[in-house]
Structure 1
Amino acid sequence: MKYLLSFLAVLAVILLYFRFVPSAPINPVLPVEGSQKEVQGHNSEVPPGDENDSTERLEEGEEGPSTAVPPATPGQTYGAAIGPEGAVPMSALATALGTRDSAQVKLVGKAKEVCQAKGCWMTLPTADGKEMRVRFKDYAFFVPKDLNGHNVVVSGWAHRSTVTKDDLQHYAKDAGKSAQDVAAITKDEQQLTFMADGVLVQD
């Protein structure tokens, strides 16, 4: 009985302690700003030339590099610093590729269309009157949105690729095409594409 009374007394003291002595506040663990890696979509690159991945969607909600690219200036480079030495004209691309699906090459041509959302792709006319879309390795840099009409040198990998209907429609929206033009795209296309690690504005 004596032990039971002692136990009850100790228990009462413990209960009174927790009742009247405030406990230390518990601070919630807050996430550190910028500690979580952003998920990339539109141009977080996988092996160059793979048009069937979903990386072309990054620009729809991703910051990526700064979009404030100054107007095109002759002599300016984007991405890796490159020069015009060894560049072949777009008309020689078919010869450079031969029967291969891809080839590392430096090309010179006149920019035609440029992504008006961020400058995250551009096109170069090919010898057969079509266009080769140029994207930028690892989504690491953009080009000026007013680059159309300028002669440029691009260094990287040319590919023969299948571009899906969804990607084609997405590119058309980026280029500022009308809803009617976008809706007119109804099937995948075989196209030449290019993954550039560097771009030089010649003039």
Structure 2
Amino acid sequence: MKKIIFSIVLCCALIGCKNSEEKQETVKTSTSNEELAYARFGDNVDAEAAIDANTMANQYAQLKPGDTITTSFTTTVNSVCKMKGCWMNLEIPGDEDVSVKFKDYGFFVPKDIEGKQVVVEGKAFLKEVSVKDQQHFAEDAGKSAQEIAAITEPKQELAFLANGVLLKQ
């Protein structure tokens, strides 16, 4: 009986650790001798290879529905899921944010990172989002019932499936 209980506790601990995968690492930028510290979530990300948000906005402007590009870019977090940190919206020039989800739902980011710098690496694409999904995301973001009810049509959005995220410390 003790072995069974121990096994259950061990399994729960291992599952809990998987969802909080975070590593501190130091990445040296190529533009200066300054070393920047990042918290890592998900896979390794090459901060030096990342493009800026302006360049990423230009790449999104050239995408057509069904196109996908593999890239990494640096920008600011505008909002994050307040329930678990299971999605975030990133700033790029233009009228809309980039909606980021995480590969295989395999990692989450902290829920309090609005305004912080990140480097994301993964796949960029355009996506149509249903009314139901938009309302769900608005609820997760803590929007009011009135704001949620105002969502009545599907929309095309800039989407990104991240393999990994670096959060500037």
Q: TM-score, normalised by structure 1?
A: 0.63
Unaligned runs of 5+ in 2: 1-6, 9-15, 23-36
Tell me, yes or no, if the aligned pair for 2:21 and 2:41 is still in contact at 8 Å.
Answer: no
Q: Please give the residue correspondences for 1:1-203 in structure 2 after superposition, counting only pairs within 5 Å.
A: 66=19, 75-97=38-60, 98-100=62-64, 101-203=67-169
1:90 to partner: Cα distance: 1.7
What percent of counterpart residues are identical?
38
Which structure shows the higher strand fraction?
Answer: 2
**Cα distance in 1 between the residues matched to 2:17 and 2:92:** 29
SS in 2 for 1:144: coil
Partner SS, residue 95 of structure 1: helix
Paired residue total: 140
Opposite residue 174 of structure 1, the aligned amino acid is D
2:123 and 2:99 mapped to 1: Cα distance? 12
Amino acid at match of 1:76: A
Larger radius of gyration: 1
TM-score (norm 2): 0.75
1:116, distance to aligned residue in structure 2 (A):
0.3
In 2, are the aligned partners of 1:86 and 1:106 still within 8 Å (CA)?
yes
What's the Cα RMSD here?
Answer: 2.4
8 A Cα contact 1:88 1:107, kept in partner: yes
